[in-house]
Amino acid sequence: MSDYLSVSELTKYLKLKFDRDPYLERVYLSGQVSNFRKRPNHQYFSLKDDKAVIQATMWGGIYKKLGFELEEGMKVNVVGRVQIYEPSGSYSIIIEKAEPDGIGALAIQFEQLKKRLTAAGYFDDRHKQPLPQFAKKIGVITSPSGAVIKDIITTVSRRFPGVAIILFPTKVQGEGSAQEVAANIALANQRDDLDLLIVGRGGGSIEDLWAFNEEIVVQAIFESQLPIISSVGHETDVTLADFAADRRAATPTAAAELATPVTKADLLAFLRERQTRSYQALMRLIRQKEERLQKLKESVIFRQPERLYDAYLQRLDRLKNQLNSSFRQLYQSYEKEKTLLHQRLLSLNLLGKVERQQEGLKQQHRLLLSGMKSQYDSQIARFEKAQDALLSLDTSRIVARGYAIVKDKDRILASSQEVKKGDQLTIQMRDGRLEVEVEDVKQEENI
């Protein structure tokens, strides 16, 4: 039996061979992602081609630094080491680095982030703010040494002299640039004297422009209360900042033109045109008023002003006469009604009725007093009779007449049937009580 190996011994031997094999320490592998389901930390999936499948593991720290999201069916190039997992005897590749096959990781990350932010509504037109027609102060977030700020200053000064340009010096490329852009957008929004912002930089590769594809920058643009014009790269360059901004400009010069849609010359021409039109309108109005005034002066009312109120005087007299007539009729009606009411009152002989009612009231009063006295006497007699009856039932008076009360403890006995031989009884008499013991009980018929 010594020639036989256990399963664990064989697996351990194979693991040792895998770990020491220099060709398996760093493997460059190309395959298609399969059975991928995103997990909170470490990722476990498969890599496959047309003929074989290998299990793959990517630790959480590596996955977070990947720069793009793994997707089912994505073809990737990975670098890692092959190992055997002893409990199951299966082998897998531990991925240390990965990138999409055929297309750059940044391009995939761009599309994935664009898709997610679009679904979240960051690029919806309903969130776009209108640009002000006349800006007094324009904030510019860009590098202080680049050509962007110079082009913007030149264009704004030419189109609308007097507009103030406030520069927020910003790192626009490399590590930490996205955080600086977002921080300066938030800083500009804390001011209350800016009308809009221009965020931009010159052209470059996708790596150079990547700060403007970071989610932190897109979110800062989306949350900005100030309208934002994005001018990043050349006309063919597109960043996520362009989608989130209220307007996109192909160049810094175009951004400055959008920020000053009306030039000073346009404004002066507009004011001159408005001045001319206002003057002409005012002169037409004056002529109309003069013509109307002349017609009024020639009117018969001004030549014979008394005709203006003759009709009113006649109407006033007519209304006065109508009012006097109405008052007379109303007075006569009230007088007639008063006479009728007086006659009705006299016919009713109210005084006689009152006297008869008073006499009846007196008679009722006498009858009431008589009835009350009779009732009182009757109740007094009943009371005295009831009092005598109660006094006759008083036990102290009964005992005083020579009778006695027999008690068994506190109970009064009314019959010899309630007593038996040997009972201890109390006999209450007029001047005291007797404690007795029953020697014999003799019952007699009730008399």
393 in a domain, yes or no? no
Q: Which pLDDT does position 405 carry in this prediction?
A: 79
Q: Which pLDDT does position 200 carry in this prediction?
A: 87
50 in a domain, yes or no? yes
- Interior CA angle at 306 toward 300 and 312, to 5°? 110
Are residue 166 and residue 257 in the same domain, yes or no?
Answer: yes
- 353-408 pLDDT tens trace: 888 888 889 889 888 888 888 888 888 888 888 887 777 666 666 766 667 778 77
Are residue 147 and residue 93 in the same domain, yes or no?
Answer: no
pLDDT band at 183 (very low <50, low <70, confident <90, very high): very high
Residue 92: which of 122, 57, 120 has the closest Cα? Answer: 57
Q: Which pLDDT does position 433 carry in this prediction?
A: 80
- 63-91 pLDDT tens trace: 888 777 787 877 888 888 888 888 887 88
- Among 60, 84, 102, where does a domain finish? 102
How many Cβ atoms are within 10 Å of 257's Cβ, its own excluded? 18
Q: Which pLDDT does position 74 carry in this prediction?
A: 78
- Among 246, 261, 276, where does a domain finish? 261
Q: Which pLDDT does position 214 carry in this prediction?
A: 87
Q: Which pLDDT does position 416 carry in this prediction?
A: 74
Q: Which pLDDT does position 301 carry in this prediction?
A: 67
- Interior CA angle at 432 toward 427 and 436, to 5°? 35
Residue 237's domain is classified under what CATH number? 3.40.50.10550
Q: Please give the C-alpha separations between residue 381 and each of 227, 391, 394, in angstroms, as whole numbers.
A: 111, 16, 20
> And the tokens for 428?
């209450």
Are residue 141 and residue 257 in the same domain, yes or no?
Answer: yes
443 in a domain, yes or no? no
Is the pLDDT assigned to residue 313 strictly greater than 90?
Answer: no
127 in a domain, yes or no? no
Are residue 190 and residue 254 in the same domain, yes or no?
Answer: yes
147 in a domain, yes or no? yes
How many Cβ atoms are within 10 Å of 185's Cβ, its own excluded? 25
247-248 and 228-232 as β-strands: parallel, antiparallel, unpaired?
parallel
- 22-50 pLDDT tens trace: 878 888 888 888 888 888 888 888 888 88
243 in a domain, yes or no? yes
Which residues lie across from 231 on neighbouring strands?
200
377 in a domain, yes or no? no
Mean pLDDT of 209-215: 86
Are residue 155 and residue 250 in the same domain, yes or no?
Answer: yes
pTM of the model: 0.46
Integer Cα distance of 299 and 321 in angstroms: 33
Are residue 168 and residue 78 in the same domain, yes or no?
Answer: no
Q: Please give the C-alpha separations between residue 83 and each of 45, 187, 192, 278, in angstroms, as whole numbers.
A: 15, 51, 61, 88
> And the tokens for 160?
């609308």
Which residues lie across from 84 on neighbouring strands?
91
241 in a domain, yes or no? yes
- Among 102, 127, 155, where does a domain finish? 102
Tell me how many domains the chain contains: 4
Are residue 290 and residue 218 in the same domain, yes or no?
Answer: no
- 255-309 pLDDT tens trace: 888 888 776 777 777 778 888 889 889 989 998 998 888 887 777 666 666 666 7
Are residue 204 and residue 224 in the same domain, yes or no?
Answer: yes
Query: Domain of 222?
Result: 135-261
